[in-house]
Chains A and B, each alone.
Chain A
Amino acid sequence: MGGAGTFVVARWRPVQQHPVAGFLLPCQGDFMAASAQKVSRYTPGEWRNLRLGLLFVSPWVVGFVVFTIYPLLASLYYSLTRYDLLRPPVFLGIKNYTTLFFDDPHFWNVMGNTIYYVGVSVPLGVGSAFIIANMLNSRVVARTFFRGIIYIPSIVPAVASAMVWDFLMNVQWGAINGLLRFFGLPVIPFLSNPAWSKPSLILVAVWANGAAVVIFLASLQDVPRALYEAATVDGANIWHRFRNVTIPITSPIILFNLIMGLIVAFQEFTIPWLLTQGGPMNSTEFYLVHLYRNAFAYLRMGKASALAWILLFIIVVFTILVFRSSARWVYYGGDK
């Protein structure tokens, strides 16, 4: 070994072989080697800059460690304990996890409810947002007005939305059922029948999907006009242009909305809690509602922490699956 410089260069050399491109990147390699050499020879001024830099980022680092890393690790520990806040935690190993999977009378029902909700609300939400965005991207009358109207639900506080939907969908005095009754039609027990409760909550979720519409709108406005013109010249009709130009070009945004939708749907809490509190007959007991109930109604912090970690695992798995599938249907221009 011929000193630090030699060591650093030798260490960095494998990086020069690009794992994907499969060819050497001499410039990149030289730059990295040079940078790495510098690390070992900081001048006093650079050390000062480093200290200052660390000092300036320290509020964020401290906040991240105290408010994110510590609670994360603490919840991992608590998930292995029996902890009710009132007494010190008692270590149980993986018992909370095995109890959830094999002995909990609610867990699989909750999983079923959540998968149903995610499986229907996310595709429906993304699909409807995409269609609405396309409609709003065309030359319709009062386009600005409609754009505003579509976005408003996503900025209405969840509690206010819940109150409005409760009023609309109540089986006794709800406005929708009032209309049905007026026309002599049978009423719909939106929130009070187990068969209707989940579709009703999905309806509320899709209604409040204005943010996805706005993101789609922005992406639609970035689709090069030239592509549509070229497609038109080649004889493409409106469906062909939509199918072969609009969807591929906006597919990265569809992926983004799909993943964000998945993450949000798995963690749905506010609207179900306010509208149905998990009922009727546990039909809207979604994952986070169940987690909340375990943590704050039954004070089973250990079990609730285990539920949280299982949820994290589920979301990560679903996200990976969607990312993996994206290789088949997401178009990244020349960078695929």
Chain B
Amino acid sequence: MTIPNISRRAFLRTTGLVAGTTALAACAVPGAAPAGGDTMASEPKTIEFVSGWGSAVEPFREIAQLDSFKALAGEDTEFNVRPVGLEDLAAALAAGDTPDGGSNIDYPGLWARGIVIDCNDYVNGSDIIDPSGVLEPVWNAAVYGSNLIGVPSVEGFMWYGMNYNAKHVEEVGLDVDDLPLTWEAVMEWHVELSKFDEGGNVIRMGFDPVDAMAAEPDFISHSFGHAWWNDEEQTFHFDHELMALGIETQAEFFRHIGPDNFAGLRSVEGQGRWGGSYYAEVQSIIMDGYWHCGETVSEKPELAPFNRSAWPPVPAFREGAKIQATGAHMIQIFKEANNPDGMFNFAEIMHTNEPMNIIFDSVGWIMGVKSFISTIDPDTYPGLRFYLESVDEVTDWIIGRRCPIHWYMYTQVNELREQVYRDFMTAEEAVAEMQKRAEAEWEAQGLS
């Protein structure tokens, strides 16, 4: 066999031709199919879904395998779900790699920026979704004006509760039959439950005011009978004496622990994340939602039997108020979605008992569908009974996380609260600064 001689010019010409052809092929429209309706019809349909909460990804995959879903969306439907952070999602949207829908994402933020569609027409045409069968505040969490910014489908029940470690409470001789219902009483428990070593280093804190739902601006303002965000007028009301009082009240909890001790405790790997210090048993009281009961079972099964739940506190001047919040983890459908119908099919199937049970069994989340709630065994998870049985006793409801810059203000409130409990500014100065920052951000984001 002889190797043919090839000149440099011929070699370059050939490689250039190959490279050019390859580049042209790469530039071709992806998925372009040859002409012919039959070929197009036989292509599998794909649903691209993103979840802002990683733990929900596996249950979503399981639901997509259900026969009922395949019957609704088509046997050949392929369902892809991946966990995302805000930056991943934003980058994907900017790059044109738009998923069909998402959950556990910044719902009002995406709606305010015109990224997702109004789902009213889809829901009105559905034989499966019955809005009247969903708890009213849960459904309303997705209603902005006359628009439905997503389909409440994944989760929506009671978001606030004072969850406590009964073992710790009993250890220090506190009476579990005399639960603290005011901030003043919670402070007493905080003092009793917090433990220090001989050097003054904290071993355990009674209550961490920036963990879980306690960190949210909604929680502290609602507890003190105030609303920092007016949904109808789209205005901010941080600069208010009740907000300042709430921030100052929380600051006292930090001061008892010591700001440096507190920061040190949270900086231990895992203890700074949502609920991490409670599961590590270095926090005895956590303000969290009903899901905390199921999550405790999955995060730390040996702790779960000691988990109890009760009403979240209010200040003494509001004693007797039973506050609660809800919202909806919904499925939002993106404007640029390739398969919005398939995405809606997935939202629809989430309103049937089988998927709701999968979600509840795997991550402890409850979708606020009345018929489903009535099927839940209140003793499934320790502490859950309180939430299921107290829903009719709520005196003050709010829908949480309504503001399109909620998550931005969440960071600002935490930052300014730290300046208060480290005594670098007063609570009054902090809430005035919150107001200023909220208005500046609203304008800077082009939302005014």
A191, B264: Cβ atoms closer than 8 Å:
yes
B415, A282: Cβ atoms closer than 8 Å:
yes
A85 contacts across to B, CB distance below 8 A: 90-91, 93-94
B259, A280: Cβ atoms closer than 8 Å:
yes
Interface size class of B (residues with CB under 8 A): 35 or more
A84, B90: Cβ atoms closer than 8 Å:
yes
Check if A135 is an interface residue, CB within 8 A of chain B: no
Ordered nearest first, which 3 A-B pairs have the shortest CB separation? A171-B264, A192-B263, A189-B260
> Which chain B residue lies CB-closest to A278?
B415
Check if A198 is an interface residue, CB within 8 A of chain B: no
A173 contacts across to B, CB distance below 8 A: 268
B199, A192: Cβ atoms closer than 8 Å:
no
Q: How far is the CA of A132 from the CA of B228 in the complex (A)?
A: 57
> Which chain A residue lies CB-closest to B8?
A52
Check if B128 is an interface residue, CB within 8 A of chain A: no
A65-109 with Cβ < 8 A to chain B = 82, 84-87, 90, 99, 103, 105
Contact of A172 with B268 at beta-carbon distance under 8 Å, contacts A90-B446, A297-B411 already known: yes
A172, B86: Cβ atoms closer than 8 Å:
no
A313 contacts across to B, CB distance below 8 A: none
B424, A86: Cβ atoms closer than 8 Å:
no
B268, A170: Cβ atoms closer than 8 Å:
yes
Return B287 CB to nearest CB of chain A, in Å.
21
B263, A280: Cβ atoms closer than 8 Å:
yes
A31-87 with Cβ < 8 A to chain B = 52, 55, 82, 84-87
Of B108-116, B150-158, B214-222, B232-240, the one contacting chain A is: B108-116
Check if B339 is an interface residue, CB within 8 A of chain A: no
B446 contacts across to A, CB distance below 8 A: 82, 87, 90
Check if B440 is an interface residue, CB within 8 A of chain A: yes
Return A323 CB to nearest CB of chain B, in Å.
37
B113, A86: Cβ atoms closer than 8 Å:
yes
Interface string of B260-286 (1 = CB under 8 A from A): 111111011100000000000000000
A299, B260: Cβ atoms closer than 8 Å:
no
Q: Which residues of B does A touch, CB under 8 Å?
A: 12, 86-87, 90-91, 93-94, 110, 113-115, 197, 199, 201-202, 259-265, 267-269, 408, 411, 415, 418-419, 422, 424, 433, 436-437, 440-441, 444-446
Check if A166 is an interface residue, CB within 8 A of chain B: yes
B93, A86: Cβ atoms closer than 8 Å:
yes
A22 contacts across to B, CB distance below 8 A: none
Check if A332 is an interface residue, CB within 8 A of chain B: no
Q: How far is the CA of A198 from the CA of B316 in the complex (A)?
A: 41
Contact of A103 with B440 at beta-carbon distance under 8 Å, contacts A170-B264, A296-B87 already known: yes
Check if A199 is an interface residue, CB within 8 A of chain B: no
Interface size class of A (residues with CB under 8 A): 35 or more
Q: How far is the CA of A192 from the CA of B261 in the complex (A)?
A: 7
- CB-contact partner of B263 in A166, A187, A189, under 8 A: A189
B418 contacts across to A, CB distance below 8 A: 279-281
A290 contacts across to B, CB distance below 8 A: none
Interface string of A265-291 (1 = CB under 8 A from B): 000000000011001111000000000
B445 contacts across to A, CB distance below 8 A: 82, 84
Return B54 CB to nearest CB of chain A, in Å.
18
- CB-contact partner of B437 in A105, A194, A295, under 8 A: A105
Given A52-B12, A171-B260, A192-B267, 6 more A-B residue pairs with CB atoms under 8 Å apart are A86-B113, A87-B446, A172-B268, A173-B268, A181-B199, A276-B267
Return B8 CB to nearest CB of chain A, in Å.
8
Check if A116 is an interface residue, CB within 8 A of chain B: no
A171 contacts across to B, CB distance below 8 A: 201, 260-261, 263-264, 267
> Which chain B residue lies CB-closest to A95?
B444
Q: How far is the CA of A297 from the CA of B114 in the complex (A)?
A: 19
- CB-contact partner of B86 in A103, A105, A186, A299, under 8 A: A299
What are 8 A-to-B residue pairs whose CB atoms are below 8 Å? A82-B445, A90-B446, A170-B268, A171-B261, A172-B265, A279-B418, A280-B418, A281-B419
